[in-house]
Structure 1
């Protein structure tokens, strides 16, 4: 009758509690595997995010977790036997979208010397860098960054110039094997712009009134879709920070440069 194929629908009966699983390290293959361990309990103070961690897709990474499906088919009749197959799978869980949380704002001051030989400097501008949707971001989602500038020195008639803009994603992976911990940082530049020459004139505005620059000034930015979401297990922790750097020019002849750098801890999810 020839060969035939049969489809067997199934679901993965995974526990919703990360504590039901333990990660094992194979010293021979150098890979990790995830198996159920119902008796395993962790310290309540240890935060385990969500459910099972995703595959990273990088087989050479120490943080890669290998998932596999094992199938057994029992064949009856005169010659009874069991056929077993195993295949590795790419596991990528999704979560429900987070509601926009309260924005995160970092306050900084920009100072310039009034004269080239004068060592005295006073705060001339206040700069607030805002991550408008808070610390929960989704893959492919727009990253709303706003910059609020206020004039702290009412006598200043200078024009502040935003010249440089950079956004970088900092990935931190902590892998624990026994009593040993390994920390790995990866830096990914999401946007870099130089020579913007964006003038910010606050001379006619009341003191402490802010001028807001939205991301329309440097182009909207979305979170790439090829990033592994945030996760944490008893053995591995993957976390992220969003770093924003702004370069301002000011002072006499606009020859003085000031760099502001802030970091936002963020959670990344796949919706």
Structure 2
């Protein structure tokens, strides 16, 4: 976990210069290149414009954007139609600010007015506040039906028909040509002449969502269990052979064997505290218990142990669906020979495997928290393989590997502040006061001394210009001949988000430790399409 300090001086992050014809632009972020942003954070910087000569522009706008893109091959038709690529695109985050011209300069002038920027370098500051939930359901800037030019040629694109309103998903990559979720700040310098191409540039950033309120611990455990009955064969006395038969190479007589009546029956449990929650960059609170149901004169050995985290990524592109499995090996040991219990243990005795075998090992920093958005969802399973050995007098001991798998949820580890949790509780108890109850909560906490007096001061004003205006809430429609209740549950109705954006109106940035989240690097992906407006260059760092 990386401590978060919003006042720490960080090296600014520049995007590469883009443009031409004597006009270049770049996005400069105030935060460091390794900074991880979350909900309620303020992302700030400036747009730097360099002009080798005076130029005429209409406006300069900066956008805070997030995209979720998927591309899958549709199943073949019943009449022998060939599979075709399906592209689905969601603008999950869209905020716009006009940084030029200033309001006093633009007052009284039309939208097509021209403004002259003199030669030299000019800076235009911006500041955004990242909301809680995705906005694609009410975003009018969604891609309309048309033709997309990708690396594989012309592909048909159509607007999405289903949306899920939930917390913004994390940055996701590692599925080239198939799926990605990315966030970036983009600047557009609108030229005044139609024959002059607009200048566009952008810089990406990493996003990790605030975790939802955790349910209180129940004191119980969830578990996966495997039973196994050993059946070890003991060798009897070897029959004598004459010297002559041995010299002539005669075949040996078969060895007499008999099954032992003392072969043990064991049960192996893998347990997690209920609810089964894991946290990014933290240890796994796992317990492994071995229970013997029958006594015997020999001990059992723990021969091998492997713990893996399996991610199931469900990808949807209109009518095409696919589930990708990804795994991380958390720890793996073999040839251990660790004695489990002792010969004196009574029948039914439980032995807890020493957790020092995996203590101190955390989840890799490429693991994203569980999430669900319109066309991508991520869930997890913890996979444990326990290898046991029973040597009961045999020339080679019998070894068995018992697989255990637990469904689990991975949280980001960015804990919500107390003020936010109380605001959410009040919003649930009185939904009509959602937009106005945040300030009283803050005042109450300050009066009680549970929150600093400066908490919540200096908030970011509302976005001056927002192209994503309000619209009617999305209502999914059932296909002809299919009942509405037969649709997938995630898309049948608007799913309730963990937090409401109205609750966060007066909330300051979250001052909580951030996990070291480093999704796999992704390059330009022509198969997933490009920006809705042609001409920009994607500069990833």
Length-normalised TM-score, structure 2: 0.41
Q: Which residue of 1 aligns with 2:207?
A: 92
Q: Which residue of 1 aligns with 2:283?
A: 142
Q: Which residue of 1 aligns with 2:401?
A: 259
Offset from partner CA, 1:37-58 (integer Å, 9 cap, x none): 9xx765xxxxx69412222244
Shift of the 14–123 alpha-carbon distance from structure 1 to 2, 3 Å rule, reads same
Q: Which residue of 2 aligns with 1:269?
A: 411
Establish whether residue 212 from structure 1 lines up as the match of residue 376 from structure 2.
no
Q: Which residue of 1 aligns with 2:373?
A: 233
**Any unmatched runs of 5+ in structure 1?**
31-35, 43-47, 76-82
Q: Which residue of 1 aligns with 2:176?
A: 60
Q: Which residue of 2 aligns with 1:222?
A: 362
Task: Describe the SS at the equivalent of 1:216.
Answer: helix
Q: Which residue of 2 aligns with 1:33?
A: none
Establish whether residue 167 from structure 1 lines up as the match of residue 301 from structure 2.
no
Q: Which residue of 2 aligns with 1:200?
A: 340
Task: Describe the SS at the equivalent of 2:233.
Answer: coil
Task: Give me the whole-angstrom Cα distance separating, in 2, the residues matched to 1:265 and 1:190.
Answer: 16
1:190, distance to aligned residue in structure 2 (A): 1.7
- Confirm or deny: 8 A CA contact 1:66 1:88 kept in the other structure: no
Offset from partner CA, 1:203-255 (integer Å, 9 cap, x none): 32332231211311454421112212222123112222110001000042361
1:198, distance to aligned residue in structure 2 (A): 0.3
1:95, distance to aligned residue in structure 2 (A): 2.0
Establish whether residue 51 from structure 1 lines up as the match of residue 167 from structure 2.
yes
RMSD of aligned C-alpha atoms?
3.7
Shift of the 50–244 alpha-carbon distance from structure 1 to 2, 3 Å rule, reads farther
Offset from partner CA, 1:124-158 (integer Å, 9 cap, x none): 222222124642111111112222122200x3122
Residue among 258, 264, 271 paired with 1:130? 271
Q: Which has the larger radius of gyration?
A: 2
Task: Give me the whole-angstrom Cα distance separating, in 2, the residues matched to 1:158 and 1:123.
Answer: 9
**Greater Cα shift, 118-127 or 191-200:** 118-127
Q: When you count helix as a share of all residues, which structure comes out higher?
A: 2
- Confirm or deny: 8 A CA contact 1:164 1:247 kept in the other structure: yes
Q: When you count strand as a share of all residues, which structure comes out higher?
A: 1
Q: Paired residues, what number?
A: 254
Length-normalised TM-score, structure 1: 0.76
